[in-house]
Structure 1
Amino acid sequence: MASFIPDDIDFSAYADLTEHDQRVISSGEYADDVVGYFWDDSKPRGEALPWDRTDGKLLFRPGEVTLWAGYNGHGKSLALGQFAVGLVAQASTCCVASLEMKPVVTLARMCRQAFGTSKPDPDSIRMFHQLTDRRIWMYDQQGTVSADKMIGVMRYAATVKQCAHFVLDSLTKCGLGEDDYTAQKIFVDRICTVARDTGLHVHLVAHSRKGKDENSPPGKMDVKGSGAITDQVDNVLTWWRNKAKEDAIRKGGDFSELDPDAVLICDKQRNGDWEGRVGFWFDPASMQFVETSSRAPMNMLQPRFQP
């Protein structure tokens, strides 16, 4: 019962849609909206990450683009999968274009995260798909997809499937040359345009350049490709895995459980006030990143932010 977006749709019909009604509006028309910006606390102005430690720090607002950066193999996709499950608990919707992994594998990992166990029973699995049906959509395509088609898929997901979020994993699978900075800049600009036109929040995964080792977190200046990528997006997040701690555990060396297994770093939040770091611990059985060293899995399906 998973919801799929097949690859045989003519996405070109959506790739070149633009907003024709460009209006210049007097500031007075926005008075009520600005009052609400300051004083309407009835609901968040966007969706949040699934962890309490990030509440009030980071929101994913309509019409924005967030870059998720980090070294290859450091858990970006896994964290985004947990985020997608967390969106269901916020009554939101998401389309995932995981171009490096089959939908069944992506959904199986989300199911583990949802129930906090390594092998959910068949009834739980079917319950998961009932809860996520038409809330989590999968773009069923692996391998390289052209930039034009990807823009069409995003517009289709936003306008036809009414998705609020779109995960593109990753930039390297969109047919752009690694050194073609102009093409990268144009593509990211088009993604930002789609987000603004439709209200879709796009989560774009990109890899970071490796330094002498992976024991120090990369920054936003370490993202592979054009510097215009981080300039154009609204938010820049880096996900870093503490491999030095992992090596110490594996070799029987010294380590502290107070040191997190992974760190989320916010280097840019254009429309928010917070930048900083938050540490997490990893529970291998559930594939969850959790907030304490006890590694007890979270209840991912409990509704959040209900009145």
Structure 2
Amino acid sequence: MSNIITLNDLDLDKYKDASVVDKLRPAHTFSPDLKDRLYGKKQFEGVSLPWQKMDGILLKTKQLSIWGGSNFSGKSSVLAQVANHIALQVPVLKMSFEMEPGETLEKMCKMAAGCKPSQEFIDYYLQQLNDKLWLLDHVGSLDHERVMGAAYVASNILGIKHIVIDSFMRLDIAPTDYDKQKIVINNLVWLAGALDVHIHLIAHFKKPADSRNTGDRHQVSGSSAITDLAHNCFLVWKNEEKAKKICSGDEYNDDEPDTVITLDKYRSDGTKVNQWGLWFDPVSGQFCETSERRNIHWQGAVRFEDWIEGA
């Protein structure tokens, strides 16, 4: 019996429902897209992160990013600052199932102002965002299909380009149901591509063996598919030892960052693992570039003194 299979041997009819045959194309038909990626606009596509030290890291549409970390590592707060920054570039939908919208906006507006904002600044902040920031008014677990439905509406009707889901454990999936977790992640990857959006998904770490270890993507709790299928993986680590010294009034070394963000996977160009230290400012809630804790001004220099409460 011959091991050679010809097209005549294939029953193509059974594949037509999946439109596989229609999607087979010769390489030369992708020439415009290839040149655009290497020399055109596509090489610069994507939105930036708030920190200058992370210049060059771009969040592109049609991608899923995992933001992992231990409980109370600050991953939700870091992503809130990221969302504030992205909303100045493209429309954002934030779905936080652990925090009411008012509480989310309180944190984000405070970050934007650099401290407790005046009522005038609150009006300015909301006016600047206008239709650029949307929130899902729901607290508690929600079936992943309804979450995907909200994302579909947000993209097609509201023009949303970045979607934040906080968090994976709130998508009504059992912690040990790895098969369903893989299905949901596959669906989110597909959704990002189909809607031409970027999806940010917060995921929790397994209990860390050593709080001094910043960890890697394999510490994300649940199925390995969560990070295997994602395009990018950011990890947020909190310097617990330093935080305890600050709380107890003990001497500490402020040259050590309060938070470390690890980029453990970056699909766009295969960048190797990289890390950046950040310093937390308790007044604004911002994560700053250096130990001087100079706040990153939102929408340019927005800290007008007469807008700041108590100035």
Q: Mark yes or no: TM-score above 0.5.
A: yes
The CA distance in 2 between the partners of 1:128 and 1:149, in whole Å, is 30
Do residues 71 (structure 1) and 74 (structure 2) align? no
Q: Which amino acid aligns with 1:152?
A: G
- In 1: Cα distance, 2:187 partner to 2:42 partner: 33
Q: Does 1:214 align with 2:225?
A: no
Could you tell me how far apart the structure 1 residues matched to 2:187 and 2:111 are? 33
- Cα offset, 1:88, TM superposition: 2.6
- 1:27 pairs with 2:24: no
* Cα distance in 1 for residues equivalent to 2:161 and 2:22: 22
State the distance in 2 between where 1:143 and 1:53 align: 35
How far the C-alpha of 1:252 sits from its partner, in A, is: 4.0
Relative contact order: is structure 1 or structure 2 higher (C-alpha 8 Å, sep ≥ 6)? 1
Structure 1 contact 85–301 (Cα < 8 Å) conserved: no
1:212 deviates by 3.4
Contact preservation (8 Å) 2:70, 2:208: no
Instruction: Map 1:149-228 to 2 at 5 A.
Output: 149-228=146-225
1:160 alignment partner, SS class: helix
Query: Shift in Å at residue 19 of structure 1?
Result: 10
Contact 1:94–1:164 (CA<8 Å) still a contact in 2?
Answer: yes
Letter in 1 for 2:113: F
Q: Are the aligned partners of 2:63 and 2:198 in contact in 1 as well (CA < 8 Å)?
A: yes
Contact 1:71 1:214 (8 Å CA) reproduced: no
Amino acid at match of 1:225: G
**Residue 13 of structure 1 aligns with which residue?**
none
TM-score for both structures, normalised by structure 1: 0.87
Aligned counterparts, 1:286-297, within 5 A: 286-297=284-295
Change in Cα spacing, 1:214 to 1:22, as seen in structure 2 (3 Å) is farther
1:72-117 residue CA offsets vs partner (Å, 9 max, x unmatched): 111111111111110133x211100000000011011110111111
What amino acid does structure 1 have at the position aligned with 2:27?
A: S
Deviations 1:231-289 (A, max 9, x none): 11111110111111111223344432211010000111112242310000011111100
2:233 matched residue in structure 1: 236
**Count of matched residue pairs:** 283
SS at match of 2:260: strand
Gaps of 5+ in 1: 1-17
One-letter identity of the residue aligned with 2:292: S
Within 1, Cα distance between the matches of 2:214 and 2:94? Answer: 26
TM-score (norm 2): 0.86
Q: How large is the Cα RMSD of the aligned pairs?
A: 2.1
In structure 1, C-alpha distance between the alignment counterparts of 2:195 and 2:19, rounded to whole Å: 9
Q: CA deviation at 1:54?
A: 0.2
Partner of 2:296: 298
Counterpart in the other structure of 2:15:
none
Q: Which has the higher helix share?
A: 2
Please give the alpha-carbon distance, in whole angstroms, between the structure 2 residues aligned to 1:294 and 1:154.
Answer: 39
1:201, CA displacement in angstroms?
A: 0.5
Question: How many percent identity over aligned positions?
Answer: 30
State the partner residue of 1:47.
47
Aligned partner of residue 163 in structure 1, secondary structure: coil
Mapped to 1, the partners of 2:238 and 2:22 lie a distance apart of 44
Instruction: Report if aligned partners of 2:36, 2:43 keep a CA contact under 8 Å in 1.
Output: no
Structure 2 CA distance for aligned equivalents of residues 196 and 110 of structure 1? 28
| Cα separation, partners in 2 of 1:290 and 1:136, compared to 1, 3 Å | same
CA offsets 1:37-71 (integer angstroms, 9 cap, x no match): 22236983101111100011x21111000000000
1:104 and 2:102 matched: yes
